Amino acid sequence: MAEVRASNPLFVSIDEHAPSGEPISMDTMVDPFTPLRKLAEQGPVARGLGSRFGNLELPNFWGHHEDCPSVAVLSYDHCLEVMRDGELFSSDMFAQTMEMVIGRSLFCMDPPEHTSYRRLIQAGFTPAKTERWTDEIIEPTVLRAVDAVSGKGRADLAVECTSLFPWEVMAQILGLPAADTDFVADRLSRMIGGAKNNPVDAFMASQELRAYVAEHVARTRENPDDRFVSALIRAEADGQRLDDEHLAAFVMHMFPAGLETTFRAASSMLHLLLSNPDQLAAVMADPSLDPAVIEETLRVEGPATMMPRTATRDTTLAGLEIKKGTVVFVMLATANRDPGRWSGPDRFDVHRPARPHLGFGAGPHTCIGLHLARREMSALLKGMRRSLPGLRWDPAVPVPPITGWSLRAALSVPAVWNTPNGV
Partner 1 sequence: MVRVSVDHERCTANGVCASVASAWFALGTDDRLTVDDRPVTPAHLDLVREAVLLCPTQALSLIEIEEPSRR
Query: Which residues form the interface with partner 1 (CB under 8 A)?
Result: 80, 84, 115, 118-119, 122-123, 125-128, 354-356, 362-366, 368, 370-371, 374
What letter does residue 237 receive in the DSSP assignment?
A: B
- Residue 248 near residue 346, CB atoms below 8 Å: no
What Å distances lie between residue 411 and 11, 22, 135, 415, CA to CA? 7, 22, 28, 13
DSSP tag of 240: B
Min dist. Cβ of residue 375 to partner 1 (A): 12
Q: Between residues 72 and 106, which has the closer beta carbon with respect to partner 1?
A: 106
Residue 326 one-letter amino acid: T
**Which amino acid does the sequence have at 185?**
A
Radius of gyration of the chain from its Cα atoms, rounded to whole angstroms: 21
Closest CA to 46 of 17, 19, 78: 78
Identity of the residue, 38 or 355, whose beta carbon is nearer to partner 1 in the bound complex: 355
Nearer to partner 1 (CB atom), residue 118 or residue 246: 118
Q: Rounded to an integer, what distance in angstroms lies between the CA atom of residue 217 and that of residue 252?
A: 11
| CB nearer to partner 1: pick between 125 and 212 | 125
d(CA 35, CA 24): 13
Q: Under a CB-based contact definition with an 8 Å cutoff, are residues 369 and 347 in contact?
A: no
| Whole-number Å distance between alpha carbons of 350 and 123 | 32
Tell me the closest approach of the beta carbon of residue 356 to partner 1, in angstroms. 5
DSSP string, 88-111: TEE-GGGGGTHHHHH-S-GGG--T
Residue closer to partner 1, measured from CB, 210 or 371: 371
Question: What distance in Å separates the CA atoms of residue 270 and residue 314, rounded to the nearest whole number?
Answer: 44
* Residues 228-264: b if buried by 16+ CB within 10 A, e if exposed: bbbebbebeeeeeebeeebbbbbbbbbbbbbbbbbbb
Q: DSSP code of 138?
A: I
- CB-CB contact of 169 with 376 (8 Å): yes
CB of 411 to partner 1, least distance (A): 28
Residue 199 or 356: which CB sits closer to partner 1?
Answer: 356
Contact 170, 258 (CB under 8 A): yes
Provide the residue type at 252 as one letter.
M
Measured from the CB atom, is 122 or 312 closer to partner 1?
A: 122
Q: State the minimum distance, in angstroms, from the CB of residue 17 to partner 1.
A: 33
Angle made by CA atoms 258, 6, 24, in degrees to the nearest 5: 75
H-type helices in 198-337, by residue range? 199-222, 228-234, 244-255, 261-275, 277-285, 290-301, 332-335
Choose between 125 and 417: whose C-beta lies nearer to partner 1.
Answer: 125
341 or 382: CB nearest partner 1: 341
